[in-house]
Structure 1
Amino acid sequence: MAGDEGDWWFCLKHMKAEHGPGCPNKDRMGPYASQDAALHAMERARERNEQWRERNED
């Protein structure tokens, strides 16, 4: 889909993906290359946090 690539963010305030300018950066995660990547930002963050937690327990 045209305009679907680059400059995607996940808004922590509204819990949704945003393209281009949107909420302040303090309320967003990103940028991401695609809408799909932004939509899965929280899932990816949880996975990374779990991996870091496991490493720290070793």
Structure 2
Amino acid sequence: MSTEAWYWCFTHDRVEGAEQRDDPDNSLGPYPSAMAAADWRSTTEQRAEAWKQADEEWSGDDEADDDGEP
């Protein structure tokens, strides 16, 4: 049986295939590969940084007023 969905399980602190997953409330995914699931932290940090930059651009936080406040 081939797994096409992979998850990072916080309960077991490991990568699990869809058919092995027993605690869906404490996992991240699905990821396309076991390697991608194992690298969940990097993916999460990259997404958070991209969202932060998009929020700053949208709200204009990257530019300060004359008094130094955003």
Higher strand share: 1
Q: Which has the larger radius of gyration?
A: 2
Mark the runs of 5 or more structure 2 residues left unpaired by the alignment. 58-70
Mark the runs of 5 or more structure 1 residues left unpaired by the alignment. none
TM-score by length of 1: 0.73
Percent of paired sites with the same residue: 25
Runs of 4+ in 1 over 4 A off after TM superposition: none
TM-score by length of 2: 0.63
Larger RCO (alpha carbons 8 Å, 6+ apart): 1
The CA RMSD over aligned residues, in Å, is 1.9
